[in-house]
Amino acid sequence: MVVYGIKNCDSVKKARAFLEHGQIAYRFHDYRVDGLDAALLQTMIDAVGVDALLNQRSTSWRQLSDQQKHDLTPETARQLMLDVPTLIKRPILNTGTQWLVGFSSDLYQTLV
Beta carbons within 10 angstroms of residue 5's beta carbon: 25
Q: In what order do the strands lie in the sheet with 2-5?
A: 27-30, 2-5, 92-94, 99-101
Q: How far apart are CA 45 and CA 62, in angstroms?
A: 22
- 61 belongs to the catalytic site: no
* Active-site residue, from 3, 4, 5, 9: 9
- Answer for the pair 100, 107: CB distance below 8 angstroms, yes or no: yes
Length of the chain: 112
Beta carbons within 10 angstroms of residue 112's beta carbon: 10
Indicate which residues carry an active-site annotation: 9
